[in-house]
Structure 1
Amino acid sequence: MMEQIRKAITIHDVAAAAGVSVSTVSRVLNDKDDVAAETYERVQQVIAELGYASSLAARGMRSRRTNVIGLIMPDVAAPYSVAVLQGINRAIAQSDYDLIVYTNGDVRKNASAAQESYFVSLLNGSITDGVIVVTPVATNFSTAAPIVAIDPNNESPDCPAIISTNRDGALQAMNYLIGLGHRRIGFINGRSELVSASRRLRGYRDGLAAAGIPFNENLIEIGDYTTETARICTHRLLQLDDPPTAIFAA
């Protein structure tokens, strides 16, 4: 016996079950005040009973707003991405907006600017009211909708951006280790093509220079912001004939 395929509930189904016109259901969905209270309650009850949900695209076409924010990030499992997602989710929870998340790759791979631009166009077309892009490599986005970048991988993004204090944070970490008496400090950086990685390396080198400690390339390992690679880099540093007494994993 073949399993019966359930048909998606449409606005026409709601109208038929409630005994009203499609336009009346639409007015209820848009909270128009010209619908009789009894009719409004009946339509809402039918919507709940049938489990009807208006599509984001249809909602956007009706009201020009969807009350949805799009989030595009490279890897939801990466510690950095998890922290960003938690912060955004806390802010969303205090508003009347919903969140939709797209992933565009893996922290160990080069993200595609074309793919990022495609996702932004897709989400900002009719699904969301605005988009947040985490660590984008694209330098510009063809969209009139609001967009914010978090830690963009270019020096001058063409949209509002939230940029971490990568160099200053690395310098503070170095000052802490040097203050503990360490002079031979290993450094595990991120992928060399990333702006965040180059800024953290700058902070590492500035910390050494300020303390009068010579820079030693043998103490530098290039990672990819993953725990697995950091473990391998740490092992290599500790296997040196003169291993570091401390390691800064950026």
Structure 2
Amino acid sequence: MAPSATGMVMSRSLIVRNTGSGPLVVSGLAVTGADAGSFTYNAGTLPLSVLPGASSVVNIQFQGATAGSYSATVQLLSNDADESPFDIAISASAVTVASLYNSWTSSAGLVGLPAGHDAMPFNDGVANLLKYAFNLNGGNSDLRTLTTGGGLAGLPVFSGAGSGAQAVFRVEFLRRKGSGITYTPKISSSLGVGSFVPMTGTTTVTDLGPQWERVRLDQPRNPATQPRGFGIVEVTLP
């Protein structure tokens, strides 16, 4: 697993694929080892039957209370005559929020004042913290916006979808997993000082691998009664 901030939950998916000719029945799961208490799993209802050629997902979660390295073994119990239990070694590490950010600035070649959260060393109007939060290039000028539905880097994008009473005010943004960053989408009708309030509505999260996920939030908003809307995603580090 990618390093995560202490106390933050980091998730990875294990794919259980049946390459045999008969149903694979997973009857049990267990996490063993010295650091087993820092790992949990979710495989749905057991026993789990996986048909030939099919696959199923086991979600593994890690949460490190203190900085350090962690390891454990996931055991899958099944009707596989050759490999039951099937042992999978897993490892993870927890570091401070500051260490994660400092590692990013170091990889971007930033040191001293140009590495600060609010610094804009390339005068592109995008602070380092925003680049870190939204997977932009910290080592160069970068003010891209996210491509809706499929982008892997970029600042949040806001749009309207639907019509009439079914219309929504939509925001899409990337979220760095396990980083300790707080992402708060907000909306305002006026841009006035103090007018932005947290958005509410339906949230959809798409997993993008070890470090990233894409978030879409749809807030109902009828343009006939609320014709103006402005959005931001507030990003903070503890």
Query: TM-score of the superposition, structure 1-length normalised?
Result: 0.21
Q: Which has the higher helix share?
A: 1
Larger relative CO (CA 8 A, sep 6+): 1 or 2?
A: 2
Q: TM-score, structure 2 length as denominator?
A: 0.22
Larger Rg: 1
Which protein is richer in strand relative to its size?
2
